[in-house]
Amino acid sequence: MRVAVIGTGYVGLVSAVCLAHMGHMVVGVDNDTEKLAQLQRGQSPIYEPGLQEDLTLAIGTGRLQFHGDLEAAVGGSAVIFIAVGTPPLPSGASDTRAVAAVATAVGAVLAGDDQPRLVVNKSTVPIGTGDRVQDLVAQGAAAAGAPPPPVTVVSNPEFLREGQALWDSYNPDRIVLGSNDPAALLTMEQLYAPLIKRRCRGCDSSHPGPIPLIKTDLASAEMIKYAANAFLATKVSFINELAQLCDRLGADITLVADGIGLDQRIGRAFLDAGIGWGGSCLPKDVSALLHTASSRGLHPRLMEAVTAVNGDQRRLVVRKLQRVLPVLQGCTIGLLGLTFKPNTDDLREAPALDIATELIRLGAMVKGFDPYWSRQDHWPKALGSIQCCSSAMALAKGCHALVVVTEWPEFKLLDWTELGQEMVQRLVVDGRNCLDGAALTAAGFHWQGMGRNPP
């Protein structure tokens, strides 16, 4: 099939590559000229494991192209994906202006067109946006003096995890398709057929059985995305609240998580205590759901508590430092890992930013080493207040404490005896419970985990 993907960020680019490997002819469109120029040179503007390789291969097959001309891309496509950003507004609501602009522009391009097409919302959008997109396409066509084009809107929410986005796109736990038109759902099923049968590059063909397909109405599919993220956030805040209790009671939260996680009704995933959730999705999606519920006269108490617990976890890291360094003024604190999770370059809503801001407010000097950003030739503006270090060793030099903010795998291999020799004081707060506390204690460190007591 001929497919257009509008918005080539984390979701759009990965989806475009995946669709091309499924055998479709794909055009990626973006209005960020710098990003577009990079893509046209065959370079990925974002970091995701394996993405550059699969992008190069997809372009090489001749099935993936990029350009800025929405008209040409939309006019030649039977399926038009919208994958633009929906960042949070100050009110907490989702900013859907980019989605609306694309829907209107698609309507204008399709004015007078009589070929049936699908417009597929991959962006995470508030419940009801699918209907609005349908109206906006009609309005776009009306402004050009034409009747509504034969377009059907489908909701196809994305569940990929940054850091393993390609694997997740090739091997999703499920594909959710929402539309009020059964024929549109059938076309989408045909589009995804190679993936559903696990017969495309990147698919785990040893997995028994097809990928589950969930077909719903438009609103339910939109709701599934918010429900999934709200539930994941709830699991993390739940375990973090228990971790605070473990800190006080001398229990070990990782053992507690293992103990409850083996219960199939609970599951072990997303039960790792730590600094809490961040990134471009969970915070904004939970706050958008809160906003939607409040605007319908509901009082979403659980979601409010989930959000409040998460904020506490970031402050807790600073309190843990203050147990040993009551006056942080004049101290140097090193942050290990700055992206919101490992194996990504994404700094949106990264806990490191809040933690650094609080430490600086208390008069500390903050240095940082990030396995991705410290190896680039520029230090991003978002990290401006954090002094860049080129290695963990350079970070440790002159530090009164180190804080593990992101659990990059390479931190497990650090030589803590050598790091300790560079530090003013051997203090580590393991904000992700990824280090061996006993080994650190043996190396002379004062080690604090999250909900784990020093051995």
Ligand X SMILES: NC(=O)c1ccc[n+]([C@@H]2O[C@H](COP(=O)([O-])OP(=O)(O)OC[C@H]3O[C@@H](n4cnc5c(N)ncnc54)[C@H](O)[C@@H]3O)[C@@H](O)[C@H]2O)c1
Query: Which residue among the candidates 281, 331, 389, 434 is catalytic per the annotation?
Result: 281
Residue type, 150: P
Residues 46-75 touching ligand X, rule: CB under 6 A, are none
Which of 16, 22, 102, 405 is close enough to bind ligand X by CB under 6 A? 102
- Between CA 199 and CA 22 the distance in angstroms is 8
> In sequence order, what are the residues at sequence separation of 6 or more whose Cβ sits closer than 8 angstroms to the Cβ of residue 118?
78, 79, 80, 151, 152, 153, 154, 184, 187, 188
Site string for ligand X, 5-44 (x = CB under 6 A): -xxxxxxx----------------xxxx--x---------
Q: Rounded to the nearest whole angstrom, what is the least distance from the CB of residue 158 to ligand X in the complex?
A: 4
Residues 70-89 touching ligand X, rule: CB under 6 A, are 83-86
The one-character DSSP state at 449 is: -
Q: Rounded to the nearest whole angstrom, what is the least distance from the CB of residue 66 to ligand X in the complex?
A: 11
Secondary structure element (H or E) that encloses residue 420, with its range: helix 416-422
Quick check: 96 binds ligand X (CB under 6 A)? no
Answer for the pair 108, 141: CB distance below 8 angstroms, yes or no.
yes
**Alpha carbon distances (Å) from 185 to 1, 107, 148, 188, 407:** 15, 21, 20, 5, 40
Closest CB to ligand X among residues 162, 354: 162
Closest CB to ligand X among residues 160, 336: 160
Closest CB to ligand X among residues 32, 304: 32
Total residues at interface with ligand X (CB under 6 A): 26
Residue type, 422: E
In 222-356, DSSP assigns E strands to 332-336
Closest CB to ligand X among residues 14, 253: 14
Closest CB to ligand X among residues 239, 281: 281
Q: Would you call 281 a catalytic residue per the annotation?
A: yes
Answer for the pair 11, 122: CB distance below 8 angstroms, yes or no.
yes
Site string for ligand X, 257-296 (x = CB under 6 A): -----------------------xx---------------
Q: Rounded to the nearest whole angstrom, what is the least distance from the CB of residue 288 to ligand X in the complex?
A: 9
Closest CB to ligand X among residues 30, 354: 30
Residues 121-140 touching ligand X, rule: CB under 6 A, are 123-124
Q: Which stretch binds ligand X (CB under 6 A): 55-63, 94-102, 419-427, 447-455?
A: 94-102
Answer for the pair 103, 82: CB distance below 8 angstroms, yes or no.
yes
Closest CB to ligand X among residues 3, 84: 84
Q: Rounded to the nearest whole angstrom, what is the least distance from the CB of residue 376 to ligand X in the complex?
A: 17
Q: Rounded to the nearest whole angstrom, what is the least distance from the CB of residue 247 to ligand X in the complex?
A: 31
Can you list the alpha helix ranges (DSSP code H) found in 85-217? 97-109, 129-143, 165-170, 182-191, 193-196
Convert 340-359 to b/e letters by CB count within 10 Å (16 or more is b): bbbbbbbbbbbbbbbbbebb
Site string for ligand X, 144-163 (x = CB under 6 A): --------------x-x-x-
Q: Rounded to the nearest whole angstrom, what is the least distance from the CB of residue 304 to ligand X in the complex?
A: 21
Closest CB to ligand X among residues 129, 152: 129
**Alpha carbon distances (Å) from 251 to 319, 383, 419:** 19, 36, 29
Four-CA torsion 276, 281, 287, 290, nearest 10 degrees? -110
Q: Rounded to the nearest whole angstrom, what is the least distance from the CB of residue 286 to ligand X in the complex?
A: 12
**Is 378 buried (19+), middle (13-18) or exposed (0-12) by CB count in 10 A?**
exposed
Q: Rounded to the nearest whole angstrom, what is the least distance from the CB of residue 82 to ligand X in the complex?
A: 9
**Alpha carbon distances (Å) from 138 to 110, 111, 134, 143, 154:** 9, 9, 7, 9, 15
Residue sitting closest to ligand X (CB): 9
**Alpha carbon distances (Å) from 29 to 4, 10, 64, 225, 418:** 7, 13, 11, 24, 49
**Residue found under tokens 């990264």:** 350
133 DSSP β-pair partners: none
Site residues (CB under 6 A) for ligand X?
6-12, 29-32, 35, 83-86, 98, 101-102, 123-124, 158, 160, 162, 280-281
Which residues have a catalytic role annotated? Answer: 281
